[in-house]
Each structure stands twice: as structure tokens, then as C-alpha cells.
Structure 1
Amino acid sequence: MVQPSEIQAAVRADAEDARQLVRQLFDYAELPYHEEQSSAAMAKLLEQAGFEVEYPFFQEKLGYGTAYRATLKNGEGPKVAFLAEYDALPIIGHGCGHNLHGPLSVLAGLAMARLKDRFSGTVQVIGTPAEEENGAKIPMASDGVFDDLDLAVMMHSWSGGTSCPDMDVLSLRCYVAEFYGREAHAVAGPWAGASALAAARKFLDLVDARRESFTRDVRFNAVLLEGGSFPNTIPGYAKIRLEFRTDSRGKLAEMDRIVRRCAEGAAMAMDCTVTFTPGLLDFDDMVRVDALETETARLLAENGETVGEILPASGSSDLGNVSYRCPSIQPLISITDEALALHTQKLRDATLLPAAHRAMKRGACTLAGLALRVLNDEAFRAAVRSDFQRALKEKG
């Protein structure tokens, strides 16, 4: 059994390189699909540590070259992967903390390289770009990249002084709805027109009227992107970007039916037509694995974290898609005692604080400890697999 002190020493050995990587990614602040410098810096560190690096990875199917897969093999045995994110947000930069928890996964991988003689099996670090858009994990999951893993794990930056053993997420579908009517002069001959803007507004009104029949987990959000340019012209075109979330991907089809009927009814009433175009790939909800959550909570506490309850699902992540393919978990690591919202400048700036760097080390120790438990403990691995299969079955 690998002692916590051994894992902590392995993490400390590369912690300064990881801290510098945090700053590099902060400065690069590269947007989804364009994380060239960030991915190259991470891949270089892993290659120097003895990982066999595929970079770019999965480029043909992604359509861009900023994913990577680093593999460290020590004989036959189980396979675990640390997943790393590193895309930033427009304007804000790294307001979601990817510049911190991406290097955290790399640091866990570097620690495993130093502990290579203490396990049999395979360790991977997989760079998964574009989480804030069409997350790369989604096509990777569909293509079977994660199917042979005994564990896929990453952490997500958090705040408030309390860390959580997992992050629950909602399934998500996104569309662009385009309404087509007839332009006309709004004063001289409005009767000749058909207002696409009115159809779009009625669509949103109809969805609002349906809200009382939504289950508690459903969230619907929309924004009007286009609806005319001049008030004295009946708009012949309007565009809405919309998204809806549920606690199970199986419910997306019913929400899809409701949303489309509302749009089609509004268009028909206003003598318009409507088309739907996918805005993003579908994000899945989380298949939670009890055995992983229990062990992660123990490891977080062992490494000095204050551990809280798992929060109700309030957002979406492409790790949900991974969780339908293999046992997966995404703990939240608090990087500051101050309670900060994600996607803000304050959270971004907190990733550079000494407290965040200390949290990164504790998080890397937790991930490495979990990976070693899966690799070395056959009974635990079987319990994880059993809980995963049961949770998957319950999802339907």
C-alpha cells in the first residue's frame, strides 16, 4: 500500500512546475478550439516525465488539434485517466478556473510517474479542450476513447472553503431557432407582412405557459439574437438561441417535443415558419458512483480538505458523457475561503493566489491516491464497477 506521505512527496516534487503552468495558462487565456500554447505546454511536461504523448490527439474527428493523450504504462493491469481542461472564456479569461484544475490533473499524472514502481497498469492524462463550447469529451466518449478505463477523474475549481467529493450535473440540449416571416412597411402596409419577431416572442410566451408542467429539475433559458433592425419595418427574420436541461438525458426527448411544438405553434399562429439547428452537442447528466464518492471524500479529508455534501446539480459538463462510458468522478476543490461565483474575474484572479496553489497540491494528492486505490485494490475496483453498472441501469 502506498502511504499518503509518499504521494505527498511525489506531488511536492513537481508542484513548482505545475504552479508555473497555472500562470502560463492564465496568461494564454486561449478560447475553445484554439488552446495551442496551453496544450503544448502541458504535453511537454508530461513527455519530459516519461509519458508517451499523442499530440495532437483525435484531431481528425474533432476538427482541431489541441487535444492530447499522454500514456504511462507499467505492465498489465487496470487503466485510469486524469482528464485536463484548459480553455478560457471570452473577455473574462480563466473565470472557470481551468488554468488551475487542468494543471492539477497534470500534477497528479507527474506524481504517478514518480510512483511508477508502486502499481501495475496504465495511467493516462487526456487533454480535453473546448469544455465551454462543444466539449471534446463528448465526441471522444461517443467514439469509445474512455470505454476501457477503470476510472476517469478530474477536479474542478471551487471556492468557499469547502470541497465536495463529486459534482452532479444536468443533461443539456441547445438549439438555434430561426423564424421566417414577411417583411413589410410597419406603417404604410403592415397587413402585408408576417412578423418573425412576434412569432419568436409568442414562442417564448408559450414555453413560459408550459413551465408549470415542467418537473423540478428542468431549466429552460433563451436569448433573442436577431429580431429586426428598424421599428418601421415588420421583421421578416428572427433568431433565438435556447437551451434546456434535465436531470437525465432520457428526459431530453420529451423536452425537445414540447419546445418544438411551442415554436411550431407560434410560427403557425403568426403565419411564419421555423427551423431548428443544433447549437451544441448534447451534454449528458452524471452517472454517480457511490464507491468513488465515498473514497474521494475520505481522501480529501486525509489531505486536509474540509469536505461538504455534494451540491444539487446546477450546470452541465461534458464529463457527464464520459460517466456513461466508464466509472467517473469530478470532485470540487476549494481554492479560496471566499465564496466566489464561477465565470467571474474574482474566481479567475483567485487561481493565482498561494492558497490556490496549496489547494492544487492537495487535490493532486487526492487524485493520485484515488488512482492508486483503483489500480492496486482489486476488491475496491470491483465495488466501483458494480456501483457503476447499477447506477447506469437506474438511469435507464
Structure 2
Amino acid sequence: MMNRELAQAIQDKLPEAFSLVRYLYDHPETAGKEVQSSKVLVEALRQAGFQVEYPFMEKELGYGTAFRAVLENGKGPRAAILVEYDALPEIGHGCGHNLHGPLSILAALGLARCKELFSGTLEVIGTPAEEEEGAKLHMASAGLFDGMDLAIMMHCGSGPCSQTEMDATSLRCYIVEFYGQSAHAAGSPWLGHNALTAARKFMDLLDARRDSFQPGTIMSEVILDGGKQPNMVPDYAKIRMEFRSPSMKNLEELDRIVRNCAQGAALALDCKVKFTLGFPDFYDMARIPALEEKVKEKFQEIGAPIEDPLPAGGSSDVGNVSYHCPTIQPIISITDAPYSLHTPELRDATLTPHARQQMAVGAEVIAETVLAIFNDGGFREKVREDFQRVLASKKG
């Protein structure tokens, strides 16, 4: 059952946490530039007794807006609550980071108020730039989450029900450049090798392969450079492409297909092609059944509507964390209206009384799940067994 003392601590801290929601809404800062956003979140954690490293991993990330706040409370397991706080260009917090970032802070403040309920180390990790080259990609590869017993956060969503997990696809991004030979497009086109045509045929070949893709495969491309003027045969073309798959294993097969299509198009047009990774891969989500069952149980105990996750559609750098330790990212519904992510409607929904109430629900679910990891050795072992089994199936 839900712990009444913890629930009360979260209610007591709710006004403070919801003031952070409003602050981030009024002061949106985009990826890697979350200077004031990170400062106000860090200050709330300092005031609660956390030992804060800020900036954190500045050299590795190339910006100083990440943080790690640690509450050492005796010997025991290690758990991390993840925090997001970057906004989108132009529309601000259309993904709801201004609410679910402070939601994570609220859960941490509640746990800090109730230290007598657990023994172990709680880390609150500020993870900037989720909307671009997410900081979690680099944190995970640096081993920050290795050996953790749990990493957890929630993401804002909409609709009548919250969801036990936000499933995610793996994602790879390439900059694909074609190099040809310039010539006069009317006077001597036979002397040229058209890089733009090679780029177009590359995309045509990708389209021709779509009917044989596995379910859940998504490919999208844009031409960044296709030549300078029409009376010259373009000697250079540049494409940015992303492809997604339900698994990292299938992502490697897609990579082979993508490269073959590019080489074929380049060969046919007497061009050369170059691949550059746009950013590190986003991993699919290593879903942990025991964690999803626990989250569902906690939502139900509060009396909040909850359902199983929808099929993966987008990607998240939380997926990379999930390959290093047991990880979960439920979706907390902040409005009954079916608003899409990355919209002004969802952004504005973060300020409603219903969103404030849901913020407390989400914080309580996070905090209770962390308590279960700290205090229930049997549950912790089941989570670890699920993690090892799921990871083996993904890497096998």
C-alpha cells in the first residue's frame, strides 16, 4: 500500500514544485542552453540536503547545464531519478518538460523528507538536450548508470489514461554526402556527374525497399544541399536521414540496406558517397516487466487510470540508459484532451489544476517505486533478473 508519510511529504512540497513548472514555462531554454532552468532545479535540491555537482560532465557534453545531486542515506541500493528541462525552439515546452522535470524533483524532495523510510543512495540526474543529442546518450556510454538498481522518470502525455511505459524505437542518423563532377548543364552536361540525381535515386531506392521492411521501421530524409543554380550540373548533394527500428539488431540490418542503396545510386551516376554519423545512436527501450507491473500497481492504489504502453513510435535517450540498468519511463497524462506532443496545446495544459494534481500522482508513483527498490530485496532481485533476461535477448 502507499506510504501515507511519503504521500503527505509530496503534497507539502507540491506548491514549491509547481512553481518550478511555471518558471520553466515562462523561461523556456533550448537544448544545451538551459542555464536558468538548471539553476532553479539545482537550488531546490540543494535546499533539500542533496550534495550537488553542477555543472556535471561539462567537458564530455560540451555545455554546463547537466547536474547530479546525491543523497547518501546509509548502505544499500542505488537509484536514479532522471530530470529533463529543455524546451523546443519557438513553441517552448511543447513536450511538457517544464512539468515532468519538476515532477522528478518533487519525487526526490518527498524522499529526502522521508529518509527514515529507506537506506541507500538516491541520485537525481539532470539530463539536458533531450530534444536534440540527448545528454543521456553520453552519460550512458560513460558508464554513469552501470550498477544502478533503478533509473526512473516520467514523461508528459495526454488522454484519459496514463501508461506504464513509454516504449521507444532505436534510431540512427546519418549525413549522406554525394560527390560528382560539375559541368555546364546545357553546353556540356555529358562531362558532369550529377550528385543531386545520385541523392534522389538513393531516396528512390530506399522507397523501393519499404515493402520488405519489418513492422515498425521508419525512414525519413531531407535534402540539405542540392546544388547552387540550375545551369550547372550539381557536383555535391547532402542529405540528412534518420531510420528507426523496434530493435538495435534490426537497426544494423537497416544500416546495410541504406549503405547498399547509397552505393548503388552513386555507382549508377559515377559519383562517390560518404556517410557521417549525425549523433550517437538512440537505443530502443529494454522494457522490464516487473517494473511495469509495480508502476501499474502504484497507479491503481492511488486510484488513477492506467493502461499498458502503446506501440513504440518515437525515440528517447532513456532507451540508452535502459541498456545499462533497469529503467522505466511511464507516461503521466496531464489532460484528458488528446493533444499531440510538441504542440502549444500540450504546453499550455501543463499549467492547469488537473496537471498539478497529476504531477503529485506521478511523483508519488516514482517515489514509491524507488522505495520498493530500496526496501524489497525480492522485488529488486526480480527486476535484476528481468533486466538481464531482456538485455540478453536484445544482444543475442
Once the two structures are superposed, what CA deviation does each residue of 1:98-117 show, in whole Å capped at 9, x if it has no partner? Answer: 11111100110000001111
Partner SS for 1:30: coil
- Counterpart in the other structure of 1:103: 102
- Counterpart in the other structure of 2:64: 65
Range 203-212 or range 231-240, more displaced:
231-240
Q: Offset at 1:205?
A: 0.4
Partner SS for 1:279: strand
Q: Offset at 1:93?
A: 1.3
Matches within 5 A, 1:47-66: 47-66=46-65
- Counterpart in the other structure of 1:316: 315
- Counterpart in the other structure of 2:223: 224
AA partner of residue 263 (structure 1): A
Q: Offset at 1:312?
A: 0.5
RMSD of the TM alignment (CA)? 1.2
**8 Å Cα contact 2:81-2:152 kept in structure 1:** yes
Residue 92 (str. 1) matches residue 73 (str. 2): no
Q: Offset at 1:257?
A: 1.2
**Structure-2 separation of matches of 1:290 and 1:309:** 11
- Counterpart in the other structure of 2:270: 271
- Counterpart in the other structure of 1:368: 367
**8 Å Cα contact 1:133-1:280 kept in structure 2:** no
Q: Offset at 1:303?
A: 2.2
Q: Offset at 1:272?
A: 1.3
**8 Å Cα contact 2:145-2:321 kept in structure 1:** yes
Once the two structures are superposed, what CA deviation does each residue of 1:318-356 show, in whole Å capped at 9, x if it has no partner? Answer: 111111111100000000000011111111111111211
**8 Å Cα contact 2:2-2:298 kept in structure 1:** no
Partner SS for 2:280: coil
Matches within 5 A, 1:203-352: 203-352=202-351
Q: Offset at 1:186?
A: 1.9
Partner SS for 1:255: helix
Where do 5+ consecutive residues of structure 1 fail to align? none
AA partner of residue 15 (structure 1): L
Once the two structures are superposed, what CA deviation does each residue of 1:209-238 show, in whole Å capped at 9, x if it has no partner? Answer: 111221112111111111123222222211
Q: Offset at 1:3?
A: 4.2
**Structure-1 separation of matches of 2:183 and 2:348:** 51
Residue 38 (str. 1) matches residue 41 (str. 2): no
- Counterpart in the other structure of 1:184: 183
Once the two structures are superposed, what CA deviation does each residue of 1:346-394 show, in whole Å capped at 9, x if it has no partner? Answer: 1111111121111111100110011111111111111111111111111
Q: Offset at 1:4?
A: 3.2
- Counterpart in the other structure of 1:359: 358
**Structure-1 separation of matches of 2:36 and 2:337:** 31
**Structure-2 separation of matches of 1:195 and 1:357:** 57
**Structure-1 separation of matches of 2:39 and 2:276:** 33
**Structure-2 separation of matches of 1:179 and 1:267:** 7
Partner SS for 1:73: strand
- Counterpart in the other structure of 2:25: 26
**Structure-2 separation of matches of 1:233 and 1:20:** 58
Partner SS for 1:222: strand
Partner SS for 2:173: strand
Q: How many residues align?
A: 395
**Structure-2 separation of matches of 1:125 and 1:63:** 20
Partner SS for 2:68: strand
> Percent identity, aligned pairs only?
56
Residue 157 (str. 1) matches residue 118 (str. 2): no
AA partner of residue 16 (structure 1): P
- Counterpart in the other structure of 1:4: 3
Range 300-309 or range 64-73, more displaced:
300-309
AA partner of residue 271 (structure 2): C
Matches within 5 A, 1:189-200: 189-200=188-199
**8 Å Cα contact 2:10-2:106 kept in structure 1:** yes
Range 21-30 or range 182-191, more displaced:
182-191
**Structure-1 separation of matches of 2:3 and 2:75:** 24
Partner SS for 1:233: coil
**Structure-2 separation of matches of 1:55 and 1:175:** 32
Once the two structures are superposed, what CA deviation does each residue of 1:228-252 show, in whole Å capped at 9, x if it has no partner? Answer: 2322222221111101111111222
Q: Offset at 1:188?
A: 2.2
Change (3 A) 1:3 1:243: closer
Where do 5+ consecutive residues of structure 2 fail to align? none
**Structure-1 separation of matches of 2:104 and 2:313:** 23
- Counterpart in the other structure of 1:82: 81
TM-score, scaled to structure 2: 0.97
**Structure-1 separation of matches of 2:295 and 2:2:** 16
